[in-house]
Amino acid sequence: MQSKAKLIFITGGVRSGKSRYAQRIADSLNGPPVYYIATLVPGDEEMRARVAEHRQRRPASWITIEEDCDPARTIKEYDQAGAVFLIDCLTILVNNLMFSAGAQPEEGEILARVEDLARTAYEAGATVIIVSNEVGGGIVPADPMSRAFRDTLGRANQIVARMADEVYLCVAGLAVELKSGSDRGQ
């Protein structure tokens, strides 16, 4: 059993191996239980295929909880020492908060929700692993909405990374440690 609960943040580009790496970490922590919090609500066949692929890679013993807007609530509800939560992913969560039905919240409101998630994860008795995309490394998007999404996600990633005990960047299937427990608050 692990000695201390941690907040672990894993980021990288699309198909960089970050979800697989997160799953390997979660599997190595000797849950049970392992709670997989899925933020994606698949809206088309291609996304349903991605969900099926992720599901096949996870151990059958893991508990999947679909939570598209408030994973902090799920952590609070099921938190216990020794448990593991894997949230996949912050990118989709920010998307859901920005573009869900109804009034679109301001960036400050979205970042406050991410701050609450990060704080909840940091204070949990369980280890929490949060996966997110790094979307700001390419060209500047042409339209204001895409730029707003890129900027909001970049700020959300910074919030989680700042509070995390460990931060990893995945590139081409390899994980590079960016921050260890001794760097907390950096």
Give start and end residues of each alpha helix (H) in the chain.
18-28, 45-57, 71-78, 90-99, 107-123, 144-163
Catalytic pick among 13, 33, 54, 78: 54
Q: Is 43 helix (H, G, I), strand (E, B) or coil?
A: coil
Does residue 179 contact residue 186 with C-beta atoms inside 8 Å?
Answer: yes
Active site residue 54: yes
The CA distances from residue 103 to 72, 116, 135, 143, in Å, are: 21, 20, 25, 20
b or e along 13-30 (b: 16 or more beta carbons within 10 Å of the residue's beta carbon)? Answer: beebbbbbbbbebbbebe
Residue numbers annotated as active site: 54
